Amino acid sequence: MATSASNLAATKQQEEQAENSDSDGVDSSCELVKVDIAVVGNAGCGRSSFVNAILGFEENDKNAATTPSGKEISSYCHPTSPNIIFSILPSIDKKTFPIFNDFLRCGYIEKFDAFLILTNDMFDKRHFAFAKTVSKSSNKPVFFVRTKFDNNNSSQGVEEESKEESALLKLRKSFAKKLKEFELNEREIYFISNYQPDKWDFLKLTNAIEAALPSQKGRFSKIPIIQKLIALDKFHHFLEEDKLKQEKIANYDEIKELFLTRGIAGVQSMINKKLGLWKEVKVELAVLGNSGAGKSSFVNAIRGVDDDAENCANVGVIETTRVPTAFPHPTNPNIRYWDLPGIGTPNYPDLDTFCKLVHIEMYDTFLILSSARFTENDKLLAAKVKSMGKSFFFIRSKIDNDRRSEKRKLKKNFKENKMLRQISDDCMKSIKDFGGGEQDIFLISSHEPTKWDFDRLQKAILDQLPSKQKESLMFTLQAKSKDVLRDKIELLKSRLWMVSASLVSKKFGFWPFSQYVVGKKVKEIIQSYSLQLEFPTRGSEEFKMLSEDLQRKVRKFNDGPYQDILQWLKSFDPDNTHSITDYKKYIVTKKPLIFLQHTLTVIIDEMGEIAFDILDETANNAQNDDDLD
Ligand SMILES: Nc1nc2c(ncn2[C@@H]2O[C@H](COP(=O)(O)OP(=O)(O)OP(=O)(O)O)[C@@H](O)[C@H]2O)c(=O)[nH]1
Ligand SMILES: [Mg+2]
């Protein structure tokens, strides 16, 4: 048998590395157990590329594997795993060995510990005959590897994927037939690409080689490229990649890189930043209109603050708003409603003075209120805002007053819809120059924000804001209407994969990969959902008003997770599909991200239904009260 110079070099390299093993991370525990794996194949089948791929060498590295010439053997190992050697044998084809028996007589079967038979096409007679000889004369493992699988498989799109599936099936069938012909036991065929080791069966092959060589248990995974492949595999496992990647993860590559370099902790720090981004976004909303139009009352209503609360905007029958005053949202101070004095008041006699003094350019959107027809000043202001390329809304306030007086006047002949149409038509006349339609006027009462267009207004404001501002404002809106509720549920769901990833424990880190979910954080998330979906707290007046059935349902989410989180989570999946158990303060499951995604989706759906029921019940109660009036 010819042994090449590079084989000797590899041995020398191993010896040197073994000597330095303590200082440079070489696995010293297995110095004595060497394995030499033969890479067999025809010329051009990808033997050296395979060795480079498995050892993580670039083709132009000085250490890179090259195919030996003639009947030489070249051997390679990775510096961190010097005891795992890959030796490229001379080509098994007719050109190198016109007589096949000459190949068999070279003593390879005795010398090497395992055999990888590579082909970039179909396996031929010699391949099978060689495998048969190995299995007859020893019980050394042989692996059939089909290389260059990337050449005909781009695996992009569903159609290509199904084509690939059927190609694989065909190849497997014909391979099984050949095995039978040569009376070889059933065995696997591994489809790989040396250029894309993260795809197809590359990792499966390395796992199989390691499993077949008991002396190397746990050693293959020390080779960096294999370590990376394992991490990547775990990453795919973690994300259930295909489903999540396309739909939800915009910055997939960034996340992958973070996962591979810094593990779950890296992904989480990025995710936490993203999840918290909405808190940093600023939104400035200007509320304008004549004195007494109901600006301060509106500012309080939209912030969910009572007119006599500590941080309320002062409301009064006499003029109260004299200087621009910002009212931050109670749960997010970056969202500010500005209560602005009306144009025409002593300090702001005309539009120009007003614009200058209130710094008109600093607001994102303008809410123009009037409790009667819109005035000339309202229109001048709207035109100015329009010229600045910003949005504005005409809001007709105090509809409850109109309803009350009309009802008193018309008694049984009172028809609310007719009244609303009249008010709307009347307002339309005053703003006809703006060319809008009925939908551009919002009829509201700040005293009854669950009625009329209050909700449609909130949604309209949201819809014209840029997406980050929209998200930010959405979280502060009260889910007192079905539209806002629906949007909130959608928003909560769109953040689900990030939320799920943030709940996985990073304590157990990247290696071994964490299967632990932090129970306390799950409770916090459920609590935040309760808040977002406006579940009344136990003991509150709102809670007492609910029917018994709804009280029980609300309690399930308000109290349930705090009793026994494991049992509580299991109640959403009686078959325990995700096989969850608990360990100390953790929920343990094999695929934490998938488990969380599924369970939290079920939870949000159930909570969403309850929130809708609460709205219905509250609306019914209010209607009954009205009917009694
Ligand atoms: N019925 C009813 N009254 C309202 C509504 N909004 C405001 N009011 C009443 O209208 C009066 C004036 O309301 P404010 O909110 O102080 O009006 P404003 O536009 O801030 O007034 P200035 O600060 O003076 O410019 C108060 O008595 C409020 O209680 C409403 O939607 N319905
Ligand atoms: Mg005011």
Q: How far is the CA of 291 from the centre of ligand 2 (A)?
A: 7
Is there a single domain that holds both residue 407 and residue 517?
no
Specify burial of residue 338 (Cβ count, 10 A radius: 0-12, 13-18, 19+): buried
Specify burial of residue 51 (Cβ count, 10 A radius: 0-12, 13-18, 19+): buried
State the pLDDT at residue 543. 94
State the pLDDT at residue 463. 87
Q: How confident is the model at residue 15 (pLDDT cuts 50, 70, 90)?
A: very low
Buried/exposed 264-273: b ≥16 CB within 10 Å, e otherwise = bbbbbebbee
- Output phi, psi for 117, to 5 deg: -100, 115
* CA angle centred on 43, ends 41 and 45, rounded to 5°: 60
* Distance from C-alpha of 475 to C-alpha of 284, rounded to nearest angstrom: 15
Select from 290, 296, 312, 442 the residue to mutate for testing ligand 1; criterion: most ligand atoms less than 8 Å from CB: 296
Is there a single domain that holds both residue 450 and residue 399?
yes
State the pLDDT at residue 21. 37
Q: How far is the CA of 372 from the centre of ligand 2 (A)?
A: 16
CA-proximal residue: ligand 1, atom 32 (nearest): 398
Is there a single domain that holds both residue 291 and residue 176?
no
| Residue 191 confidence (pLDDT) above 90 | yes
* Distance from C-alpha of 601 to C-alpha of 604, rounded to nearest angstrom: 5
Q: How confident is the model at residue 124 (pLDDT cuts 50, 70, 90)?
A: very high
State the pLDDT at residue 23. 39
Percent of the chain whose predicted confidence (pLDDT) is above 90: 48
Question: In the listed set 452, 478, 504, which residue is the last one of a domain according to the structure?
Answer: 478
Question: In the listed set 166, 198, 231, which residue is the last one of a domain according to the structure?
Answer: 231
* Distance from C-alpha of 319 to C-alpha of 45, rounded to nearest angstrom: 88
State the pLDDT at residue 261. 77
- 304 is in which domain, residue-wise? 281-478
Q: How far is the CA of 345 from the centre of ligand 2 (A)?
A: 12
Answer for the pair 586, 503: CB distance below 8 angstroms, yes or no: no
- Output phi, psi for 393, to 5 deg: -135, 135
* Distance from C-alpha of 462 to C-alpha of 456, rounded to nearest angstrom: 10
Is there a single domain that holds both residue 123 and residue 171?
yes
Q: How confident is the model at residue 73 (pLDDT cuts 50, 70, 90)?
A: very high
Please report whether residue 394 resides in a domain: yes
* Distance from C-alpha of 36 to C-alpha of 119, rounded to nearest angstrom: 20
* Distance from C-alpha of 102 to C-alpha of 92, rounded to nearest angstrom: 10
Is there a single domain that holds both residue 323 and residue 416?
yes
Please report whether residue 175 resides in a domain: yes
Answer for the pair 339, 324: CB distance below 8 angstroms, yes or no: yes
Q: How far is CA 319 from CA 322, 325, 360, 397, in A?
A: 8, 14, 22, 17
Poorest-pLDDT segment among 318-322, 414-418, 451-455: 318-322
State the pLDDT at residue 193. 93
Q: How far is the CA of 360 from the centre of ligand 1 (A)?
A: 23
Mean local confidence (pLDDT), 122-149: 95
State the pLDDT at residue 609. 97
Answer for the pair 294, 397: CB distance below 8 angstroms, yes or no: yes
State the pLDDT at residue 154. 54
Please report whether residue 547 resides in a domain: yes
Is there a single domain that holds both residue 461 and residue 516?
no
| Residue 431 confidence (pLDDT) above 90 | no
Mean local confidence (pLDDT), 30-47: 88
Specify burial of residue 457 (Cβ count, 10 A radius: 0-12, 13-18, 19+): buried
Answer for the pair 599, 573: CB distance below 8 angstroms, yes or no: yes
Is there a single domain that holds both residue 495 and residue 474?
no
Q: How many CA atoms lie within 13 A of 418 on its CB side?
A: 6
Please report whether residue 261 resides in a domain: no
Q: For the chain, how many structural domains are there in total? A: 3
Q: How far is the CA of 455 from the centre of ligand 1 (A)?
A: 19
Place of tokens 């349902």: 553
Element (H, E) at 47: helix 47-55
Q: How confident is the model at residue 626 (pLDDT cuts 50, 70, 90)?
A: low
State the pLDDT at residue 2. 35
State the pLDDT at residue 625. 64
Q: How confident is the model at residue 309 (pLDDT cuts 50, 70, 90)?
A: confident
| Residue 4 confidence (pLDDT) above 50 | no
| Residue 394 confidence (pLDDT) above 90 | yes
Answer for the pair 315, 296: CB distance below 8 angstroms, yes or no: yes
Identify which ligand lies nearest to the alpha carbon of 342: 1
**Which residues, 6 or more positions from 534, have their beta carbon under 8 angstroms from its beta carbon?**
478, 479, 480, 611, 614
CA-proximal residue: ligand 1, atom 24 (nearest): 319
State the pLDDT at residue 256. 80
State the pLDDT at residue 287. 95
CATH number of the domain bearing residue 50: 3.40.50.300
Is the bond into 512 cis (omega within 30 degrees of 0)? yes
CA-proximal residue: ligand 1, atom 13 (nearest): 294
R_g (Cα) of the chain, nearest Å: 36
Q: How far is the CA of 193 from the centre of ligand 2 (A)?
A: 71
Ligand 1 cavity residues, CB under 6 Å: 289, 291-297, 315-317, 319-321, 342, 397-398, 400-401, 445-447
Question: In the listed set 231, 258, 289, which residue is the last one of a domain according to the structure?
Answer: 231
Please report whether residue 163 resides in a domain: yes
Tell me which amino acid residue 274 is.
K
* Distance from C-alpha of 538 to C-alpha of 535, rounded to nearest angstrom: 9
Q: Please give the structure tokens belonging to residue 282.
A: 């600023």
* Distance from C-alpha of 170 to C-alpha of 542, rounded to nearest angstrom: 65
Is there a single domain that holds both residue 495 and residue 473?
no
State the pLDDT at residue 6. 42
Poorest-pLDDT segment among 141-145, 197-201, 352-356, 569-573: 197-201
DSSP 502-541: HHB-STT-TTTTP-EEEHHHHHHHHHHHHHHTTPPPTTSH
* Distance from C-alpha of 135 to C-alpha of 77, rounded to nearest angstrom: 26
State the pLDDT at residue 331. 80
Q: Choose among 209, 191, 211: nearest CA to 200.
A: 191
Between these two residues, 128 and 539, which has the higher pLDDT value?
Answer: 128
| Residue 319 confidence (pLDDT) above 80 | no
Select from 295, 314, 315, 369 the residue to mutate for testing ligand 1; criterion: most ligand atoms less than 8 Å from CB: 315
Is there a single domain that holds both residue 511 and residue 600?
yes
Atom of ligand 1 nearest to the CA of 448: 31
* Distance from C-alpha of 138 to C-alpha of 596, rounded to nearest angstrom: 49
Poorest-pLDDT segment among 126-130, 580-584, 604-608: 580-584
Q: Give all strands (DSSP E) within 314-457, no chain letters.
A: 325-329, 332-339, 365-370, 391-396, 441-443
Is there a single domain that holds both residue 295 and residue 412?
yes
Is there a single domain that holds both residue 417 and residue 505?
no
Buried/exposed 73-92: b ≥16 CB within 10 Å, e otherwise = bbbbbbbbbbbbbbbbbbbb
| Residue 10 confidence (pLDDT) above 60 | no
Q: How confident is the model at residue 513 (pLDDT cuts 50, 70, 90)?
A: low
Most confident residue range from 111-120, 160-169, 308-317: 111-120
Q: How far is the CA of 307 from the centre of ligand 1 (A)?
A: 10
Please report whether residue 276 resides in a domain: no
Q: Choose among 185, 391, 566, 217: nearest CA to 381.
A: 391
DSSP 418-435: HHHHHHHHHHHHHTGGG-
Mean local confidence (pLDDT), 570-584: 92
The mean pLDDT of the chain is 85
Between these two residues, 160 and 582, which has the higher pLDDT value?
Answer: 582
Atom of ligand 1 nearest to the CA of 314: 16
Identify which ligand lies nearest to the alpha carbon of 368: 1
Between these two residues, 29 and 177, which has the higher pLDDT value?
Answer: 177
Answer for the pair 268, 502: CB distance below 8 angstroms, yes or no: yes
- pLDDT, tens digit, for every residue of 276-289? 888 889 999 999 98
Please report whether residue 166 resides in a domain: yes
Specify burial of residue 96 (Cβ count, 10 A radius: 0-12, 13-18, 19+): middle
Please report whether residue 273 resides in a domain: no
Identify which ligand lies nearest to the alpha carbon of 452: 1
Q: Choose among 221, 131, 141: nearest CA to 175.
A: 131
Is there a single domain that holds both residue 191 and residue 86?
yes
| Residue 246 confidence (pLDDT) above 80 | no
Q: How far is CA 86 from CA 161, 213, 220, in A?
A: 32, 14, 12
